[in-house]
Amino acid sequence: MAAPILEVEDLGVEFLTDHGWVRVVDGVSFSVGEGETLGLVGESGSGKTVTSLSVMQLIPVPPGRISGGSIRFAGRELVGMSEPQLEDIRGDDIAMVFQESMTSLNPAFTIGEQICEVVRRHRGCSRREARDRAVEVLELVQIPDPRSRLGAFPHEFSGGMRQRAAIAMALACDPKVLIADEPTTALDVTVQAQVLDLLRSLQQRFGMAILFVTHNLGVVADLCDRVAVMYAGRIVETATVFDLFESPQHPYTEGLLQAMPQLGERGKRLAAIPGTPPMPWQMPTGCRFHPRCPYAETACTEQDIPLRALAGDRHVRCRRVEELTLEGAQ
């Protein structure tokens, strides 16, 4: 693995809810190497989005708070950093792309103004230089006739074009890390294929690290180098993308892979993980997956299961990992 550019260690995030302070992200650790794509996979409520927002301290405070842990970018600690310092990093060294590009683009300003603003804020260059840079990045994301598109407002773009413009804005300052939170989920599949291709080629050219948050295992298989699977606020397994799909070590990962309808034969019943994920204020004791796990034993319910390191830079949070042989993707 390349030298880590982004390291998250023992991250805890809490939210104030009707049930008091509730920990939605609990002891999450991972790192992303230079030029690497890490997929952060989980279902809704797994804490994957909160984790990705916490990296840039973008969770709303209140009701949220980072209750512990450390987030380091190129060795610099981000937790507890002052807001002005964070603003220097946001959009410059670390950039974000969201699911709904309308949330990252301001409807009241043109695409050009918004990209120029980011460039000028971080580079302090002239208007003309910023404009040239904006044209350059729009060209990069394959927006046709970029110079004339500078004056367009976000709503004048189609969904796919908006997402590409949002990526262009994120790339404007050559970030070292790109955090992409479900960037293709709201897009049609043919447009999703374009955006994935684009991200792949941009990464090859510029070598930025990507933290790719998604629930879609197909997209993970397409784009990611390594994968971290989250369940109920915790990471349950990390592995390279090939290892994870071929020989999952955690029953939840197996369940997710088996649940992909593409892999089920027609007429046969689809594999489904029984039950639903727990609410963060009523986490099961022991392994949080045990109520839904087909391999659970009494011992799984008793105490917290640590994340264990396996050979080949893999980690898994299952106490039966040695005994079980789980099925991967066909």
Q: Rule CB under 8 A: which of 10-29 touch another protein?
A: 15, 17-19, 22, 24
Residue with smaller CB distance to another protein, 49 or 249 = 49
Residue with smaller CB distance to another protein, 130 or 232 = 232
Rounded least distance, CB 192 to another protein, Å: 7
| Residue 261 engages another protein in binding (rule: CB under 8 A) | yes
Distance CA 104, CA 16 (A): 25
Contact with another protein (CB under 8 A) among 190, 204, 298, 325: 190
| Residue 264 engages another protein in binding (rule: CB under 8 A) | yes
Contact with another protein (CB under 8 A) among 4, 27, 45, 154: 45
Q: Is 91 left (phi over 0), alpha (psi -120 to 50) or beta?
A: left
Name the one range near another protein by CB under 8 A: 39-47, 72-80, 133-141, 166-174. Answer: 39-47
CB of 5 closer than 8 Å to CB of 207 = no
Contact with another protein (CB under 8 A) among 107, 274, 311, 323: 274
Residue with smaller CB distance to another protein, 103 or 204 = 103
| Residue 325 engages another protein in binding (rule: CB under 8 A) | no
Residue with smaller CB distance to another protein, 33 or 74 = 33
CB of 308 closer than 8 Å to CB of 239 = no
| Residue 75 engages another protein in binding (rule: CB under 8 A) | no
| Residue 170 engages another protein in binding (rule: CB under 8 A) | no
CB of 246 closer than 8 Å to CB of 262 = no
| Residue 193 engages another protein in binding (rule: CB under 8 A) | yes
Contact with another protein (CB under 8 A) among 74, 81, 125, 221: 221
| Residue 259 engages another protein in binding (rule: CB under 8 A) | yes
DSSP 91-106: TTTEEEE-SSHHHHS-
Rounded least distance, CB 92 to another protein, Å: 21
Rounded least distance, CB 291 to another protein, Å: 13
CA dihedral over 278, 282, 287, 291, signed as positive or negative: negative
If you compute the radius of gyration of the chain from its CA atoms, what whole number of angstroms results?
21
Contact with another protein (CB under 8 A) among 158, 201, 285, 303: 158
Q: Could you tell me where the beta strands, DSSP code E, fall in the chain?
A: 4-17, 20-33, 37-41, 64-73, 76-77, 94-97, 177-181, 209-214, 226-231, 234-240, 308-310, 314-316
Rounded least distance, CB 46 to another protein, Å: 9
Name the one range near another protein by CB under 8 A: 81-89, 130-138, 213-221, 299-307. Answer: 213-221
User: Which residue, among 208, 144, 201, 143, has the nearest Cα to 171 in the 3D structure?
Assistant: 208
| Residue 44 engages another protein in binding (rule: CB under 8 A) | yes
Amino acid at 76: R
Distance CA 208, CA 4 (A): 12
| Residue 330 engages another protein in binding (rule: CB under 8 A) | yes
Identify the three-state secondary structure at position 2.
coil
| Residue 294 engages another protein in binding (rule: CB under 8 A) | no
User: Which residue, among 34, 84, 33, 36, has the nearest Cα to 57 in the 3D structure?
Assistant: 84
Name the one range near another protein by CB under 8 A: 82-90, 154-162, 167-175, 302-310. Answer: 154-162
Residue with smaller CB distance to another protein, 125 or 193 = 193
| Residue 215 engages another protein in binding (rule: CB under 8 A) | yes
CB of 129 closer than 8 Å to CB of 213 = no
Distance CA 307, CA 318 (A): 7
